[in-house]
Amino acid sequence: MLDIKFVRENKEIVKENIKKKFQDEKLPLVDEVVELDQKIRELKLDGDNLRQERNNISSEIGTLMREKKADEANLKKERVVEINNKLIDIEKEEAELAEQLKTKMMVIPNIIDPSVPIGRDDSENVEIKRYGEPVVPDYEIPYHADICEALGGLDKESAGRTSGNGFYYLVGDIARLHEAVIAYARDFMINKGFTYCIPPFMIRSDVVTGVMSFKEMENMMYKIEGEDLYLIGTSEHSMIGKFKGQLIKEEDLPIAMTSYSPCFRKEVGAHGLEERGLYRVHQFEKQEMVVLCKPEDAMEWYDKMWSYTVEFFRSLDIPVRTLECCSGDLADLKVKSCDVEAWSPRQQKYFEVGSCSTLGDAQARRLGIRMKTSDGNKFVATLNNTVVASPRAIIALIENAYQADKSIKIPEVLKSYMGGMEFIKPKN
């Protein structure tokens, strides 16, 4: 959410930013919020004037009472009652307009960084750099779900009976590989100086609306019936929410955390082959990075964070590339974002395995997260990045480590997490 003072003083910049995100339907909101802001400020001024008048009259009443001029004092008291009634109406109208202003402000997108390429959707994202040589072996690589099933490691049929489409059982060595990747990701980030955390897996609605846009919320979040609780779609939600309403000492920044959680997503529109496999599912596990820092340090942290994901996947011998997300592909709260994509030798193309974003002070403003400085209290900047999301990492790993004899070669960094195992071999 933008600062209303910024919108008031930079209407054309805000409108131009909306156009860059191809959301022209939101252009009228800018004038609407400026008009609402003007009405609220006028009401505040009226209220302040009335309160000052009331204070003055109260002093006069005291003087009149001492002078035993009761009739004049009673007339003044009637004016005080009249002022109080007016103030009740003003405060009520002010509260109603403030709520309207907040609702509209939360729909106006954040100002994107000047470096963000302009484009309508993810088809116009821009490749930045490739890391590692993509290899296509001279033997066939089956679909990842078929590889897992052949290794006795995936059971979607049973999950369909218990939970429906988009769920799965991982079994045996594939389940162990999944846990090895998550455990390695945890230790990888701890070694980078991040504090490990396991957050709540459900959050209240005021936290949800603080960390994401309404559109994202509708498309992603599962609501707990009869409760003001939502299942998290990523641990970033509860990790940022941890600091809701907090005043952080400047010397305590940056706060760098890595969090583990299961994640739950509706994945509206999932269908076909993706639904049969593990690429797009309703439940998965994830290791995340979350940073709170001074606004001036945000871009430095942004570059560190996505580079850690690249380093993590390269340590698993998986070729990756980074993509700069274009303006139309950025969620409304984001200032800048890039995706990390892993090489799929089966499809002979890259696919998304992680995303890194800096959100400026948008989340902090919504949730009231400030830092205490010598110049007063200021909003912090927030960033988040995927270390690893387990199903997609498993897909990338088994495809790139698939051998001609139908086994999976365990990357060196995972062997200690797999009890020294070097290969996952077919059962027959």
pLDDT in tens, 239-263: 999 999 999 999 999 999 999 999 9
Per-residue confidence band for 3, with pLDDT thresholds at 50, 70 and 90? very high
Q: Cα–Cα distance between 346 and 394 in angstroms, integer?
A: 14
Per-residue confidence band for 219, with pLDDT thresholds at 50, 70 and 90? confident
Q: Which pLDDT score is estimated for 289? A: 97
Per-residue confidence band for 273, with pLDDT thresholds at 50, 70 and 90? very low
Residue 275 clears pLDDT 70, i.e. is over it: no
Q: Mean pLDDT, to the nearest integer, of 282-300? A: 97
Tens of pLDDT, residue by residue over 162-194, are 998 889 999 999 999 999 999 999 999 999 999
Q: Which pLDDT score is estimated for 268? A: 63
Q: Select from 1, 282, 278 the least CA-distant residue to 145.
A: 278
Cβ neighbors of 99 (< 8 A, separation 6 or more) are: none
What average pLDDT is seen over the chain? 94
Per-residue confidence band for 62, with pLDDT thresholds at 50, 70 and 90? confident
Burial 182-195 (b: 16+ CB within 10 A, else e): bebbbebbeebebe
Q: Which pLDDT score is estimated for 269? A: 57
Tens of pLDDT, residue by residue over 352-377, are 999 999 999 999 999 999 999 988 99
Q: Mean pLDDT, to the nearest integer, of 53-73? A: 87
Tens of pLDDT, residue by residue over 30-49, are 999 999 999 999 999 999 99
| DSSP per-residue letters across 45-95 | HHHHHHHHHHHHHHHHHHHHHHTT-HHHHHHHHHHHHHHHHHHHHHHHHHH
CATH numeric code, 122-424: 3.30.930.10
Q: Where are the domains of the chain?
A: 4-105, 122-424
Q: Mean pLDDT, to the nearest integer, of 322-326? A: 98
Q: Which pLDDT score is estimated for 390? A: 87
Tens of pLDDT, residue by residue over 117-143, are 999 999 999 999 999 999 999 999 999
Among the four given CATH numbers 1.10.287.40, 3.90.1150.10, 1.10.3720.10, 1.10.150.310, the one describing domain 4-105: 1.10.287.40
SS3 407: coil
Percent of the chain past pLDDT 90, that is, above it, reads 85
Based on C-alpha coordinates, what's the Rg of the chain?
28
Burial 102-132 (b: 16+ CB within 10 A, else e): eebbbebbbbbbeebeebeeeeebeeeeebb
Q: Which pLDDT score is estimated for 182? A: 97
Q: Which pLDDT score is estimated for 166? A: 87
The residue length of the chain stands at 428
Q: Cα–Cα distance between 332 and 216 in angstroms, integer?
A: 9
Half-sphere exposure of 388 (CA within 13 A, CB side): 26
Tens of pLDDT, residue by residue over 93-124, are 999 999 999 999 999 999 999 999 999 999 99
Query: Is the distance from CB of 314 to CB of 132 less than 8 angstroms?
Result: yes
Residue 222 clears pLDDT 80, i.e. is over it: yes
Per-residue confidence band for 63, with pLDDT thresholds at 50, 70 and 90? confident
